[in-house]
């Protein structure tokens, strides 16, 4: 969905490096999410945010941090990357109706940690 953009689309980094993945949306949604996708494991929620002042941990937040810089921007950081954080990362948004309405996903960032 072009309304949700993620940068970079691909990233290769080394163990121990700090890396930031960025997400921007033009849908005007309040709620934003970060997921990771691993083969055979589906999507797992890392963090979610209902507005700029509201940040919540998801199922697998260890090793990650987030920043909601504005309603439209939600960044995911890996403070010290490790190889098992190699995955496909998705940002998603939904409006104030929350779960009742569907989530809209970005195109994903493929991260490889060597």
Partner 1 sequence: AQSVAQPEDQVNVAEGNPLTVKCTYSVSGNPYLFWYVQYPNRGLQFLLKYITGDNLVKGSYGFEAEFNKSQTSFHLKKPSALVSDSALYFCAVTRREGYSTLTFGKGTMLLVSP
Contact residues toward partner 1 (CB under 8 A) are: 1, 4, 35, 40-45, 48, 58-59, 90, 92, 98-100, 102-108
Q: With respect to partner 1, which residue has the nearer C-beta, 56 or 80?
A: 56
**63-83 per-residue burial string, b: 16 or more CB within 10 A, e: under 16:** ebebebeebbebbbebeebee
- Output the smallest distance, CB 11 to partner 1, in A: 15
Strand order in the sheet with 4-7: 4-7, 19-25, 73-78, 65-70
- Output the smallest distance, CB 42 to partner 1, in A: 4
């Amino acid at each position: 969905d072009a309304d949700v953009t993620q940068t970079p689309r691909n990233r290769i980094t080394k163990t121990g490096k700090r890396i930031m993945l960025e997400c921007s949306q033009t849908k005007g949604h309040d709620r934003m999410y970060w997921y990771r996708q691993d083969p055979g494991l589906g999507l797992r929620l890392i963090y979610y945010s209902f507005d700029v002042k509201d940040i919540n941990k998801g199922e697998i937040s260890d090793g990650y941090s987030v920043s909601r810089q504005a309603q439209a921007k939600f960044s995911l950081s890996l403070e010290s990357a490790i190889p098992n954080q190699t995955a496909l990362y998705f940002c998603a948004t939904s409006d104030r109706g929350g779960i009742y309405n569907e989530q809209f996903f970005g195109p994903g960032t493929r991260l490889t940690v060597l």
